[in-house]
Structure 1
């Protein structure tokens, strides 16, 4: 149960304007909403990225306690003058007519070449709620890590993806020391660390 009774119905949208329609769909909104004190806010202007739902999958081999992660170039860290090659979980955007499980299977094949034995739902999470509507559905995908390795990705999308296999404990340590610092991977590795035993017991 929520801690307050404010909800979607308590927002009034006054205007919507599309600012950019390219790799990113950027829109500008004018709105006002009810306040916690019972009043109504002044009109607010907010720019936001509008995106279709996304899917993320942490690939895990229960037999050897290893995860399969992918490494690729990312623009955000580059703009912050950080290392722009990130270790991530498999992820992708939903295309029209696809459900989350279909996206998961497609992206696993495109980014790693692996076939997943079982998809275990984790939960849905907003990745950057202050500036985007993107909600990611997270899964744990059970795979044979012995088949993992190589370079993948779609050339027509400019993808250059390297596949890595790590001990779960090593991946968690990389999270702890900041070498893995993107939110889907952090969330998924923490979840897997908490649920590792029950996954192994039930496979």
Structure 2
């Protein structure tokens, strides 16, 4: 008996080896086997499949996919003051891979956890920044690292005001979160993208959207 397959894993899941076996949308792909390598919290799978190349020949391939679930993120902005509200928190993978201290500036974000994307970003904004947001604008949905990670991230933007601050923020201490809120002039945030002080992909994408098509686009 294997946790996550025959018996529940620590998150109560079973049948994790069935994910992706029944895909039929691409006739050039034949799924042969799915093996669960790890399901401690997220799920790491190795999938074996046959792939028909453009010249017609078939090859047998194997790929590992990291399934952490889908997520959502929101850019909080104040157009009157021309500011954005970001978060700062420690990210071990970035620290391991060359970031000076692992403390990344980011838009508020989190996993959906069976919620709708908009409900999830409202929860995350409240948990991380202490702000209750009003009308949220859906921007786009993006596969952030499609070569290895299954996650699709839903992007939103929403205005914020000082009066929206309901207290709290800082993240969920029980989950090890220790998040600070950083308010920046929008122009400074863009400068930080240019010089590398903001190095988080989702944050860069939302800031660039805000400058080109969003609340800070040219008149």
TMscore range, shorter length? 0.7 to 0.9
**Alignment-derived partner of residue 15 in structure 2:** none
Against the structure 1 CA distance between its residues 55 and 9, is the aligned structure 2 distance closer, same or farther, given a 3 Å change threshold?
A: farther
Please report the RMSD computed on the Cα atoms of aligned residues, expressed in angstroms: 2.1
Separation in structure 1 between the aligned mates of residue 178 and residue 202 of structure 2, nearest angstrom? 19
Match of residue 46, structure 1, among 63, 66, 85: 63
Match of residue 129, structure 1, among 146, 160, 164: 146
- Per-residue deviation, 1:145: 5.0
Which one has a larger percent helix, Structure 1 or Structure 2? 1
SS of 2:146's equivalent in the other structure is coil
- For the pair 1:16 / 2:63, whether they are aligned, the reply is no
TM-score (norm 1): 0.87
Separation in structure 1 between the aligned mates of residue 74 and residue 30 of structure 2, nearest angstrom? 35
Q: Structure 1 regions of 5+ residues with no counterpart? A: 1-6
Task: String of CA shifts for 1:35-80, please: whole Å, max 9, x gaps.
Answer: 222332x211111101221101111111111100000000111111
Separation in structure 1 between the aligned mates of residue 121 and residue 217 of structure 2, nearest angstrom? 19
Larger RCO, structure (CA 8 Å, separation 6 or more): 1
Separation in structure 2 between the aligned mates of residue 192 and residue 36 of structure 1, nearest angstrom? 39
Q: Structure 2 regions of 5+ residues with no counterpart? A: 1-24
**Alignment-derived partner of residue 4 in structure 1:** none
SS of 2:213's equivalent in the other structure is helix
Match of residue 51, structure 2, among 12, 23, 33: 33
- Contact residue 71 and residue 161 of structure 1 kept, 8 A: yes
- For the pair 1:138 / 2:155, whether they are aligned, the reply is yes
- Per-residue deviation, 1:81: 3.4
Against the structure 1 CA distance between its residues 75 and 126, is the aligned structure 2 distance closer, same or farther, given a 3 Å change threshold?
A: same
Greater alpha carbon shift after TM alignment, 134-143 vs 23-32:
23-32
TM-score (norm 2): 0.81
SS of 1:64's equivalent in the other structure is coil
- Equivalent residues in 2 for 1:1-203, closer than 5 Å: 8-40=26-58, 42-82=59-99, 83-96=101-114, 98-144=115-161, 152-197=170-215
How many residues matched? Answer: 193
